[in-house]
Structure 1
Amino acid sequence: MARDQGYGTAVVKGIQLLQLLLSNTTNATRHSALTDEKELARHGYERQDNAHFKIDCIREALRGLDVDDKLVNNGGKNEIVYYIHNRDSVVNGVEYPMTTAYFNQISNPASGILIADTNITPSHAGRLLDNPIETYPPLSHWSDVAFLQYLGPRPLPLRFVVRISIQNVEMYRVLHKSEEGRAILGTPHGSGVAWMLIQHQKHLGVRRLEKVMVFYAPKEGDLWRWPSLLFWIA
């Protein structure tokens, strides 16, 4: 029963997000005010240069999309953009402690693709600390952080979003029930993509999700066949 309820909730949420995406109108009340890359530092995030990502796990998928399949350090256009929430911050007079959250995306605006690798939000990371944190900075959702990590030429092209090796119970339950697009969109990993498109229309334009595909991008050392998602954006 719990599984069916979770699936039904995901479908309802997915339908609501689709309606927002298909409205074909911009709504200023839904626009995010977080549109400058400097907001990352202001909210306590620091870029790291020691991030690693082996693109081999999705090379076949990238070639199938006819986009660049190499990292910048190998002569390609895919750049690893890794931030950790490792500093306390004060935003609009409110103090926010660091949570050790981290966001790792592979950004390629030239090809219009954003690849989400490992991401732990402040709300999740903060609960795992010895002294749990329940106060999170305004910049804490994947949809906003990943957008800032993707920033490039304007208007900002975005044709594909990939979410790799999803380790999330809610997603497993939905995929076990069905791979229906509306249900996937209602999960945290699907809704994050939708909210990015909805809240950042000023820079992305009015976009819609054309389709979503479940695939597998096995990484070295994986102990499980984690699902990945590929979103086509039109």
Structure 2
Amino acid sequence: MLPLRNTHHTTAIMPSYNLRRANLVITILAGLLVIAISTITCAFHSTSLTTSIIARDATSQFDDADLYENSTSLPHLNAKPVWPPWSKSPYEIYYGKGCKLWMMLQEGTAPAAKYNAVDDLAEWGWKNSMDWSDATVKRVVGSIEAPLADQGVTLGGGINVNVQSDHSEPYGEENGGKPTKGKYYEVYNPAQGAIIAYRNYGPGYVVENNAAWGDAALPDLKNWSDVVFLTWLSLTVGNEAQRKGLKIVVRVNVMNEDTRDVIEEALRKEGVASGNAPVWPGHVFEPGKISGKGLKPFQAVLGTPNVGGIVWMLAQHIDELDKKTITGIRVWDKSGLDNQDAGVLPCIMVHIGPA
């Protein structure tokens, strides 16, 4: 009977042992499978985002500077991800965009610009109206005269020009030739290396939000970065030092809700409890600084509609502007309400230096 008991005992224990071992193997394999899927997914989305950025000229990214609509931006960058299944916050979405843009700027991998000749503006229906009077310049951007002076930029002396770039002229018949009434209004100061954007309604925004222009095709030359670069080029003809001397780009009275929301969260991550931009000299987001959850506020703000176009301009025109980098993104409230919730008027100053 003893052998029978041993046999019975063995047959009772071995299946249990084998089952535990099988479960362990399954657990290990499942873990490896999850890691593999995660790796493939990350690689897929990295490639997808990079491809989307490279394809930027085929659609309309950063088309509108102050009033920006997701419908006019790259669908691949704004669409909810298929994997992972959880949704991302606006901060995380723009952080992802900012990381890709930052990499593109640092590595010099931006696609070649399609438009490099000043005449391209007129060909695509853009008309630049210029006013060099100090009175006009101070009327449109005089509210930030003191902050500009702190950066060595003066509004007097006839060295600033107010340029109203209007998409107001007929253009190529193959595109319908109908102007969209889009507009990019900036003050340019080539002598001191500054561009100040104060009113921007890109063609994409106008067509999307005006029924009267609903049948108008968007011009191929429609992005803020292209129009502003070509205008800068026209103002620095024959003066290489000025053309390559861009130091700051300012966005006055930022109205875009996505940009404002991202700035608010980024400020909180860097210790500004209210999320409101401080009065001048404001708060500076610096490259490489990590705050909260391991995400970099600098990259998040860099990816927003009001800053991303500046990256494109620098990245696509290295030959004309030299290899540049962004050394900091300053945000401040110019409302004079000292960081109160009501009536905050955030402004952005992008600091540019040699790479």
TM-score (norm 2): 0.58
> How far apart are residue 37 of structure 1 and its match?
1.9
1:87 to 169, 175, 179: 169
2:332 to 215, 224, 231: 215
2:252 to 164, 172, 181: 164
1:69 to 124, 149, 155: 155
- Single out whichever of 113-122 and 35-44 deviates more from structure 2: 35-44
Q: CA RMSD in A?
A: 2.4
1:136 to 218, 227, 243: 218
Could you list the runs of 5+ residues in structure 2 that have no partner in the other structure? 1-85, 268-296, 337-341
CA 1:118–1:3 in structure 2 vs 1: closer, same or farther (change >3 Å)?
Answer: farther
- Structure with the higher fraction of residues in helix conformation: 2
Aligned residues: 222
Q: Distance in 2 between matches of 1:96 and 1:20?
A: 34
2:184 to 97, 103, 126: 103
Where in structure 2 are the equivalents of 1:114-133 lying within 5 Å? 114-131=195-212, 132-133=214-215
Where in structure 2 are the equivalents of 1:176-191 lying within 5 Å? 176-179=264-267, 180-191=297-308
2:345 to 218, 226, 234: 226
1:76 counterpart SS class: coil
Q: Distance in 1 between matches of 2:331 and 2:177?
A: 37
> How far apart are residue 101 of structure 1 and its match?
0.5
Q: Distance in 1 between matches of 2:122 and 2:97?
A: 32
2:218 counterpart SS class: coil
Q: Distance in 2 between matches of 1:62 and 1:160?
A: 10
Higher RCO, Cα 8 Å, sep 6+: 1
> How far apart are residue 218 of structure 1 and its match?
4.2
2:344 counterpart SS class: coil
Q: Distance in 1 between matches of 2:194 and 2:100?
A: 25
> How far apart are residue 128 of structure 1 and its match?
2.0
1:32 counterpart SS class: coil
Of structures 1 and 2, the larger Rg is shown by 2
1:66 counterpart SS class: coil
CA 1:97–1:19 in structure 2 vs 1: closer, same or farther (change >3 Å)?
Answer: same
The answer (yes or no) to whether the contact 1:108–1:150 under 8 Å persists in 2 is: no
1:178 counterpart SS class: helix
> How far apart are residue 147 of structure 1 and its match?
1.0
What per-residue deviation string (whole Å, max 9, x for no partner) do you get for residues 54-86 of structure 1? 33211111111012232xxxx331110112111
2:261 to 157, 173, 177: 173
Aligned-partner residue type, residue 112 of structure 2: H
> How far apart are residue 214 of structure 1 and its match?
0.3
The answer (yes or no) to whether the contact 1:162–1:228 under 8 Å persists in 2 is: yes
Q: Distance in 2 between matches of 1:62 and 1:186?
A: 24
- Structure with the higher fraction of residues in strand conformation: 1
2:314 counterpart SS class: helix
Kindly indicate whether residue 108 of structure 2 is the aligned counterpart of residue 45 of structure 1: no
The answer (yes or no) to whether the contact 2:159–2:191 under 8 Å persists in 1 is: yes
> How far apart are residue 87 of structure 1 and its match?
2.0
Q: Percent identical across equivalent pairs?
A: 25
Q: Distance in 1 between matches of 2:343 and 2:105?
A: 33
Q: Distance in 2 between matches of 1:3 and 1:181?
A: 22
The answer (yes or no) to whether the contact 2:298–2:329 under 8 Å persists in 1 is: yes
> How far apart are residue 3 of structure 1 and its match?
10
What per-residue deviation string (whole Å, max 9, x for no partner) do you get for residues 194-232 of structure 1? 00101111211111111001013349xxx9322110011
2:320 to 198, 203, 222: 203
Aligned-partner residue type, residue 143 of structure 1: S
2:99 to 7, 15, 19: 15
> How far apart are residue 4 of structure 1 and its match?
5.7
The answer (yes or no) to whether the contact 1:77–1:110 under 8 Å persists in 2 is: yes
Q: Distance in 1 between matches of 2:130 and 2:327?
A: 34
Q: Distance in 2 between matches of 1:198 and 1:95?
A: 31
Could you list the runs of 5+ residues in structure 1 that have no partner in the other structure? none
What per-residue deviation string (whole Å, max 9, x for no partner) do you get for residues 158-191 of structure 1? 1111111111110121022114221111111110
> How far apart are residue 49 of structure 1 and its match?
5.3
Kindly indicate whether residue 140 of structure 2 is the aligned counterpart of residue 58 of structure 1: no
